[in-house]
Amino acid sequence: MTAIDRSAIHGSRRVVVKVGSSSISGDAAHRIDTIVEAIARAHERGTEIVLVSSGAIATAIPFLDLGGRPNDLATQQAAAAVGQNVLMWRYQTSLDRFRILAGQVLLTAGDLENTTHRSNARRAMERLLGLRILPIVNENDTVATHEIRFGDNDRLAALVAQLIGADALVLLSDIDTLYTKPPSEPGAEPIRHVAYGDDLGGFEFGSVVVNSVGTGGAATKVSAARLATAAGIGVLVTSADLVDAALSGDDIGTWFAPNPEPAAAPVTGPVRTVGEAVAADRLGA
């Protein structure tokens, strides 16, 4: 049953949780335990969780002595191959405490555009959930190219939520809620609730590139929330440190209310870059 407000997340049958690179890599790697503990509590009360996790490339940076996020595609792909392995090891090591097994699901944009691939991806995740395994989804950066990438895992998470018929989507960020403008600027006000169809054109949602290890930011979360809510999936945006409160249905973060009358629609459309998606969102597309 679709979560119509934050409080309904606690009793939801199926929830997609997305976490970004900056929240779980480098000095923030300890936060994996926090996220896993919250997922384990939700898992114990019967909620099916799918985790969409960025961080493969960022995780590999110190192992490869790169000094920062690589700019060329070949090095990004190599870093993703190394980092994905380490990232999954970290998740599984943390999950072992709760006797939960993770299953890795790597997707490209083409996988969700191709009918057969999309059906196979859905079938695989449904089976993983049926076996009480935690699917951990990431973009397959090792084989993806600039032309076919999702662009950011917020969009990927929204598409996965549609793919598996999730009741809610939780987008974890570095801040506890979205603001009317970057929170460091004077006059920034927290946004607590966004009704479906609300015009957000007057707000400033910051830059697409947020740090040296990942892409995204508030603008891509708003764009992803619009994509998910149009399909009838409620979306909560909040801090990764508040993941347990988010899955418990506490009154935190920014809640995007779902479309009360979602029309049947494909889980994906033309693949856009982050910049294109953000520009389209600002135009109301």
Where residue 71 falls (left for φ over 0; alpha for ψ -120 to 50; beta otherwise) is alpha
Q: Rounded CA gap, 38 and 280, in Å?
A: 34
Query: 145: Cβ–Cβ under 8 A, 6 or more apart, which residues?
Result: 73
Provide mean pLDDT across the span 62-85: 90
pLDDT digits (tens, 9 = 90+) for 10-19: 999 999 999 9
Answer with the residue of higher pLDDT: 279 or 121. 121
Question: Which of 71-106 are b and which e, b meaning 16 or more Cβ less than 10 Å from the residue's Cβ?
Answer: eeeeebbbbbebbbebbbebbbebbeeeebebbbbb
Per residue in 157-189, pLDDT tens?
Answer: 999 999 999 999 999 988 899 998 888 888 889
**For the whole model, what pTM was predicted?**
0.87
- Known binding-site residue numbers: 18, 54, 141, 153, 173-174
Residue 148 scores a pLDDT above 60: no
Q: Give the residue ranges of the annotated binding site for substrate.
A: 54, 141, 153
Q: Kindly report which listed range (143-147, 166-170, 240-244) carries the lowest average pLDDT score.
A: 143-147
Domains parsed from the chain with CATH numbers: 6-282 (3.40.1160.10)
Quick count: other Cβ atoms within 10 Å of Cβ 13? 14
Q: What is the pLDDT of residue 214?
A: 46
CA–CA distance, 127 with 142 (Å, rounded to integer): 25
State residue 149's pLDDT score.
58
- Binding-site residues from annotation for ATP: 18, 173-174
